[in-house]
Amino acid sequence: MKRMEKCWEFGPGRMALAAFCAHSVSISIGICQGYSAILIPQLQASTKMHVTTEETSWLASLGAITNPVGSVLSGVLAEYFGRRRSIQISSIPFIIGWILIGIATDINWLYAGRLISGISAGMSTACYTYVSEISTPESRGFLQALGPICASFGILLTYTLGYYIRWSTVALISVTFGIFSMVTIHFLPESPGYLLKNNRTAEGFEVYLWFRRNNVIAQQEIDSYHENLKQNKSDGTAWKEAYLSPQTVKPFFILVILFLLQEFSGIYTLLFYAVSFFEETDLNIDDYISSIIVGIIRFTMSIVAAFLINKFGRKVLCTFSSLGMALTMLTVAIYVKYYELNPEEEKILSYLPLVGIIFNVVFSMIGMLPIPWILVGEMFPLEVRPIMSGVVICIAQTFIFICVKIYNDMLDYLNFSGTLLVFVAASIISIVFSKFVLPETKNKSLQEIEQYFRKNKGDVDGFDNKAFDMESEGRNREVQEVFTVRVDS
């Protein structure tokens, strides 16, 4: 009990609580992403609202087609109305969308509900921006990983509920999570980054003090912001020019390519078509049970990844994750291709596809699924962070829509094995990209990351980078004998 009180009193507990409340929106996002996996099989088995193959592809993809709208909207709201208010507003389309789906009597109601809830599913921009701005460099990776953990919980909950109850009841239950996010975020302080950017320095200091519980550290955060702002002005970086500066353009292209590889490695295709995906493998096991198993593995590994991300760094985990995904999906592809060529043979090792997919999910969760979303909140300068994060997530959500929408067409033209080989190819390219292009942001302050992209000097390969050794930095700070606490009004 005393340990919990200390954790709260000295700041980490406050950051963790705020991060969970902000990322609780991701529970609803996970439900939206996993919902088509239970909705489509139930509708196909229904006599009241039977759907065609074309309609099923739209039901799956409509949950993603409006994600880009939500991403841009979230970035704009976070920029002009604050991160906290943007997170609150993102819950409203969820509530409306789930109510429409829950009371749906025909396919058009389902389309409308999926479109509206999809707007909220794209509005994760403000969550990652908010958490990145309240976190310390050492805690940022773990706290940002709460987003994928919450999303994985939402997916697992959806798969499990879909096994026991009707799709409409699942939709109505989902309304409660939107209400929870809207209410809890109201009691949190605004992001200090937003306050400082709007010249509300005194309020920003109070928020830093609330999270850090130390006047000196809070003042250091304020001073670091002003020093970075002064550097930008000395570089002649005007507001409009900031969007074309190296510290904006370089992260933009790195993140866009990383998300492209993420989507085409099959991570989200498997997510949206989990039950149908296992039908293609022709396993002698209930497809819902297979999906629930994958959901459990996904949720468990998202928790494991939260602890690994600060131990090994983003770059190492993405490289290892891509390697594991390539090997596991290649194994499943070879197995499936063999029996496509020899359909008359009796299958041996019939559970191999399930095992391969499970390990593919394991490897994806320790790197390639969560880390791109985490990097969105880390790599852009404060001046452009909400807008550019929204643009990148908009592009990522567009990739998701494309991959989900063309899945059935890929099956028609490439067969199941050919589709899996596309996933393998994307994973192999991702290995090279993560190893040689992706920078390391572990234990780096947001200002240090910005300075790296601005100057393009030094090494940013992670924990072996002595120039950014946080322990050395801490020892240097201890040498200073005099600290001044200044609050600018």
Band (pLDDT 50/70/90 cuts) for residue 487 is very low
Cα→Cα distances 259→202, 267, 458, Å: 38, 11, 26
**pLDDT for position 138:** 83
Phi-psi region of 232 (alpha: psi -120 to 50; beta: other; left: phi over 0): alpha
> Torsion angle of alpha carbons 17, 20, 24, 29, nearest 10°?
170
**pLDDT for position 363:** 92
CB 212 within 8 A of CB 221: yes
**pLDDT for position 462:** 40
**pLDDT for position 176:** 93
Residues 300-334: pLDDT tens digits? 988 988 888 878 888 999 999 999 999 999 998 99
Residues 26-62: pLDDT tens digits? 898 888 888 887 888 888 877 677 777 778 778 877 7
Q: What average pLDDT does the structure give for the chain?
A: 81
**pLDDT for position 189:** 92
**pLDDT for position 445:** 82
CB 420 within 8 A of CB 333: yes
The model's pTM is: 0.76
Structure tokens at 161: 């509920």
Instruction: Between 453 and 254, name the one with better pLDDT.
Output: 254
Band (pLDDT 50/70/90 cuts) for residue 486 is very low
The three-class DSSP label of residue 104 is coil
Whether the per-residue pLDDT at 287 is higher than 80: the answer is no
Structure tokens at 210: 């609330």
- When divided into structural domains, the chain yields a total of 1
Residue at 463: amino acid letter: F
Whether the per-residue pLDDT at 238 is higher than 70: the answer is no
Residue with tokens 């950017």: 197
Q: What is the mean pLDDT of residues 118-130?
A: 82
Of 289-298, 421-430, 431-440, 474-483, where does mean pLDDT reach its minimum? 474-483
The 10 Å Cβ neighbour count of residue 206 is 16
Cβ neighbors of 328 (< 8 A, separation 6 or more) are 356, 357, 359, 360, 363
CATH classification of the domain holding 271: 1.20.1250.20
Whether the per-residue pLDDT at 282 is higher than 70: the answer is no
The angle, 0 to 180 degrees and rounded to 10, between the axes of the packed helices 246-264 and 446-455 is 100
**pLDDT for position 458:** 46
Q: If we measure between CA atoms, which residue out of 133, 114, 115 comes closest to residue 22?
A: 133
In whole angstroms, what separates CA 12 from the centre of its chain?
A: 22
> Torsion angle of alpha carbons 81, 140, 319, 382, nearest 10°?
40
Assigned domain for 351 exists: yes
Most confident of 64-78, 146-160, 258-272, 273-287: 146-160
Band (pLDDT 50/70/90 cuts) for residue 470 is very low
Structure tokens at 78: 């976070």
Assigned domain for 475 exists: no
Assigned domain for 207 exists: no
Band (pLDDT 50/70/90 cuts) for residue 461 is very low
**pLDDT for position 283:** 59
CB half-sphere exposure, 158, CA atoms < 13 A: 36
> Torsion angle of alpha carbons 30, 31, 37, 38, nearest 10°?
160
The 10 Å Cβ neighbour count of residue 47 is 5
In whole angstroms, what separates CA 298 from the centre of its chain?
A: 13
**pLDDT for position 51:** 76
In whole angstroms, what separates CA 382 from the centre of its chain?
A: 19
In our burial notation (b when 16+ CB lie closer than 10 A, e otherwise), range 404-416 reads: bbbbbebeeeeeb
Band (pLDDT 50/70/90 cuts) for residue 9 is low
Most confident of 87-101, 207-221, 275-289, 464-478: 87-101
Residue at 286: amino acid letter: D
Structure tokens at 195: 């306050």
**pLDDT for position 56:** 79
**pLDDT for position 11:** 60
Residues 149-190: pLDDT tens digits? 998 899 899 989 988 888 889 999 999 999 999 999 988 999
Whether the per-residue pLDDT at 473 is higher than 70: the answer is no
**pLDDT for position 474:** 44
Instruction: Between 156 and 357, name the one with better pLDDT.
Output: 156
Q: What is the mean pLDDT of residues 367-379?
A: 88
Whether the per-residue pLDDT at 468 is higher than 80: the answer is no
**pLDDT for position 123:** 78
Residue with tokens 């841009």: 72
Assigned domain for 150 exists: yes
Assigned domain for 197 exists: no
Cβ neighbors of 216 (< 8 A, separation 6 or more) are 483, 485
Assigned domain for 489 exists: no
Assigned domain for 282 exists: yes
**pLDDT for position 334:** 92
**pLDDT for position 433:** 95
**pLDDT for position 484:** 44
Whether the per-residue pLDDT at 479 is higher than 60: the answer is no
Cβ neighbors of 109 (< 8 A, separation 6 or more) are 100, 101, 103
The three-class DSSP label of residue 272 is helix
- Determine the structural domain holding residue 288 and report its residue range: 13-192+244-470
Alpha-helical (H) ranges within 185-245 are: 192-197, 201-212, 215-234
Assigned domain for 485 exists: no
Q: What's the distance, Cα to Cα, between the start and end of the chain in Å? A: 39
Q: What is the mean pLDDT of residues 342-361?
A: 82
Structure tokens at 173: 């239950």
**pLDDT for position 294:** 77
